[in-house]
Structure 1
Amino acid sequence: MDLQKKHNVHVQGDGPATLFFAHGFGCDQNMWRFMQPAYARRFRTVLFDLVGSGNSDLSAYDPVKYGSLHGYAGDVVELARAYRQGPAIFVGHSVSAMIGLLAHLKDPSLFAAHVMVGPSPCYINEGDYFGGFERSDIESLLETLESNYLGWSSNMAPAIMGAPGQPELAVELTNSFCRTDPEIAKQFARVTFLSDNRADLPRMDAPTLILQCSDDLIAPVAVGEYLARQLPRSTLVVIDNQGHCPHMSAPGASSDAIDTFLAAQGLHGSMT
């Protein structure tokens, strides 16, 4: 299948490395518009939609393949092999951070570094691990989503976005959720919120930036601190921001953290 059509791929820019930008649940590549253009002036950038999201080819959606994050990770491997030039950096928001982790483990040669924006390896509290939610919370969330997806979207999107001073962003996220095919969204939500990738973290040896918000309903700071302890070569940066989408609500602070991280990897980019 044509990868460009399958994932609605857009390649921009040129430079010493390739940055792949991957969106989170209920979103699409447009969510990177506040940050990606500046990187396209210094690097090669690749924007894409996960299958089932945005303007991806919905005929490519296979509920069996995408019944786990490994299905999405397989797609990322294909995209990286097809579109990377020079070292590749995977920038993944929310669940896509773990998709990038799994893609790396499938082929460690593909990505030189990872940027995880609001990541969580497991959303459910267990023993000493604090993921932010009790299992009953997640089950209730999924039940509500199953019975009334549009209502769930309208209620949850503003809480997920945060950014009380930018209400238009919550409206945008609500609309994005509502554009997603409900059946696909329901399965992706289940796959996302019931995932547990904690055992995979120590196996990821690439330099990794963990970018967390100081007040995030979905991925609390404690989750970022756990990731920093488990990922062998990680840097944790907590920015002063409310919500789960700092690439939209605090793009300047997010870019500053990413730029510092890329420079530490020797990747400054070439201004064009």
Structure 2
Amino acid sequence: MSHTAHIRSHRKPRRSATTGIAVRAGVASGVLGMAAAGAASASAAEPVTQTLELPTLTADLATQVAQSADATQQAAANYTLQAERDAAAANAAKQAKADLAEAKQKAEAKKKKAEEARKAAAERAASRSAERTTLSASTGSSASTSTSTSTSTATGSAAAVVAFVKAQIGDAYVSGGTGPNSWDCSGLVQAAFKSVGVSLPRVSQDQSTQGTQVSLSNLQPGDILYWGSAGSAYHVAVYVGDGMFVGAQNPSSGVGEHPLSYDPPTGAVRVL
């Protein structure tokens, strides 16, 4: 047998390319046709409606909502009230601080005024003491000559004035007293001179400027003695002769008769 003899091939014959394309095209057409038919069928069906159920607003839920609203409103009101209280407290603290500062200023002013008054009183007391010391010395030096320069026996209206003041010895001293059983110094002097028809001012300051100023070394019964300076005297009495005077001195001694050395006067005036 020839080596070139034809041998049947065991390979499967190849399909034609044109046949494969036709098959695939046919399959694709079938699939597309089915898809189109499904779409057409779906579009022709009834539309689907979905219902959502919401929770029903019950009475309890409404009550809770209302309570929540009330609580919110109450909280807001509480905040407002607290803010007002805080503002009021701040204003009160500010006012208290201002009042305290004002009170301190007033207290300092009052203290200063009291200190000034105390110093002024001390100065007046020192001045009176100096005046009395000077007057005591002058009275002592003139005592030996007083008998020759003064009249010891009162006459006329002067005698009546002397008798009046002596009749009141032992009466009480009362500030503002004008008799008949209690006197102050100027009230006694005024009443004594009124008894003889002489009108005098009510207070010692004015009585110390009446009549004529006389020397303490030339006193006569019925002369008005004064303590302090003329026009600003703080005490008056009546000279009754023999180096003695009668006056309403103070609450402890009342109306009494005393020697000039007991409380030396500053000056004297003669009205009669």
Q: TM-score range by the shorter chain?
A: under 0.3
Where relative contact order (Cα < 8 A, 6+ residues apart) is larger, the structure is 1
TM-score, scaled relative to structure 1: 0.20
Rg comparison, structure with higher value:
2
